[in-house]
Amino acid sequence: MGFKRLIKKGLLGGAGGMIEGHILDAIQKKKETGKSFRECLSESVKETINEDMPGTSHIYQMGKTDGRKQGTVEQAKRDEKIMQKKCEDHERERHEWEKNRQRKG
């Protein structure tokens, strides 16, 4: 949606260009979300720079994806350690239950 949104903001601005397009986009977002005009305008500009512009959007998306992949790998390692510990605890408890059952029986 990025490049299409960039063109739309440029067309919304008419002869005024991108600035008026951002203002009109912010007004529309304000109606939809109820946030302040300043917040909506800031979001509009950020989304244009980070997601819509051809040069910067690629870099932004690349960093966003790399961060997710790295976070996923780290989380998988943490989850694996947690599961191994739970498995070891379970086995230890199972052996204790077996010993107790043999003593009683």
How far, rounded to the nearest angstrom, does the alpha carbon of residue 95 sit from its chain's CA centroid? Answer: 44
Structure tokens at 25: 């986009």
Residue 61: is its pLDDT beyond 90?
Answer: no
Categorize the per-residue pLDDT at 1 as very low, low, confident or very high, splitting at 50, 70 and 90: very low
CB-count burial class (<10 Å; 0-12, 13-18, 19+) for 42: middle
For residue 23, give Cα distances in angstroms to 9, 11, 39, 44, 104.
9, 12, 11, 8, 79
Mean pLDDT of the chain: 78
Q: What band does 14 get if pLDDT is binned at 50, 70 and 90?
A: low
pTM of the model: 0.43
Of 41 and 50, more confident: 41
